[in-house]
Structure 1
Amino acid sequence: MIRLQKFLQECGVASRRKSEKMIREGMIKVNGEIIQEMGYKVDPQKNIVELNGKELKVNQRKVYILLNKPRYVITSVKDERGRKTVMEFIKIKERIFPVGRLDYDTEGLILLTNDGELAHTLTHPSYGIDKVYEAEIEGQLSESEIKRLKEGVELKGGYKTAKASVRIIKTSENSSRVEVKITEGKKRQVKRMFKAVGHTVKTLKRQSIGPLTLKGIEHPGAHRFLSEKEINVLRMYIKKKASFRSLPNGLSM
């Protein structure tokens, strides 16, 4: 017996957080009955679980795909407003979903998979997964502004970010290119961090997630499957992060 939201993850329906949202909204039926209870458990061998009238089955083959998301593309399985989503760049029979998200006008690296456990660990803030971004901002950062970003800056609403790494790549009279490494994933976090120190982000691109990079998919819209070696490296990276923070690694190695 497994929790319903975990079953949905393993079917490649969505991440755990989105699966829980689907349950709360009454989108899931078990044996013909709508289930909205978070702790509800199912037996994949005996129970019939449906989403929008379609029976769900646990994926046997795990799929891991890196995509270089272009700007003005939605990080979602579908969009009610009809905008282009990341799913339109990948045509496979397996049901997959994006891990985390990038803003509509942000480009760069995103992972798509049907591995719910791995998706959960990559997006859970407790694991502190490194994410590197390259931002083009208006103006130039002062030494005091760089220090504030590195030590953690208070965002609108009172939240203070964790420590970050900041490196100036290039400056010109009116703008700067800056590399930022963070271990959190608050909504529009990098843009809000720069805004907090008085600078507007003109363009933003995610370069890496942990050991995963844009190598081999440099062109926006390009994608590729992770190799078995890369999957193992990613799992070991997560295990190391979990060990450092005294957390369960959450993965079947």
Structure 2
Amino acid sequence: MEERLQKILANAGVASRRKCEDLITAGKVTVNGKVVTELGIKADPAVDVITVSGKAIKQETKIYMMFNKPKGVITSVSDPKGRSVVTDYLKEVKERLYPVGRLDYDSEGLLLLTNDGDLAHKLTHPSHHVPKTYHATVERVPHGSALEKLAKGIKLEDGITAPAEVEYHDIDPEGKFATIAITIHEGRNRQVRRMFDAIHHPVTRLKRISFGGLFLNNLQRGKHRKLTKDELEKLREMAEGIKLPSAQDKE
């Protein structure tokens, strides 16, 4: 079956779909010996010979992993500064895996990795509103009215945030800190941290506990596991825009 070339490359684990588009426009891709530079070209991976930088691609077995990312690890497959990256923790996995979305350097928790570029693209596309739940430990205890602002949407430098689900998870008896459970449906850069900065309660620790209805549960920090059949089915439903029940803390 014919598909867009960038989708074929992403599904083969070459790179993310966006990076595959860059490879095509840079003239690095050939189909049946002919260099292709247009993004609209389609091909059939079962029939056509497709190469990237002179090497023929192969359809890899699709792998779907959940990883509990530690703080101080880069959400990438490589880092020019030599810092630890998420794939350092999955060296025994033969297939090339790529993170689904991002967790910043100072954040920890649930990160999905896969070589299924099509699913990854859908899960991170803004139109699908995939829920992501975090435990944000912040300085002092925010007043309920401040959390209501986050729930309704708060103005940031790149626009007003979409409504969020916000509730207290843990409160320090001395009022020095609080841990807030917050579920968002967007993927802006450092969004949760910026939301709490906007109400003057900076985040001191940020952990993602859920993505797309999947939960970390007892997965230890720095460890990974394959998704179950049911988990993968739930993700695919989410990727197709089917609304699932709100995420609840299952830790």
Fold agreement, TM-score > 0.5: yes
Structure 1 residues 35, 203: closer, same or farther in 2, change over 3 A? Answer: farther
> Shift of residue 18 of structure 1?
3.5
1:171 aligns with 2:191: no
TM-score (norm 2): 0.86
Pairing of 1:1-253 with structure 2 (within 5 A): 1-24=2-25, 26=26, 28-30=28-30, 35-44=36-45, 45-51=47-53, 53-59=54-60, 61-90=61-90, 91-157=92-158, 159-172=159-172, 173-217=175-219, 219-239=220-240, 242-243=241-242
Return the letter of the residue paired with 2:196.
F
Q: Is the 8 A contact 2:128 2:238 kept in 1?
A: no
Unaligned segments of structure 2, at least 5 residues = 244-251
Partner of 2:246: none
Contact 1:15/1:99 (<8 A) preserved: no
Name the TM-score, length of structure 1 as normaliser: 0.86
Q: Which amino acid aligns with 2:234?
A: V
Q: Output one character per residue of 1:46-70: Cα deviation in whole Å (capped at 9) or x when no partner.
A: 233214x5432122x2111100011
Q: In the alignment, is the contact (CA less than 8 A) between 1:13 and 1:96 conserved in 2?
A: no
Identity %: 44
Contact 2:49–2:56, Cα closer than 8 Å, also in 1: no
Deviations 1:145-203 (A, max 9, x none): 1111000011124x111000111112222211111000111111101111111121111
What stretches of structure 1 of length at least 5 have no aligned partner?
245-253
Number of residue pairs the alignment of both structures matches = 238
Tell me how far 1:35 sits from its aligned partner. Answer: 4.6
One-letter code aligned to 2:199: V
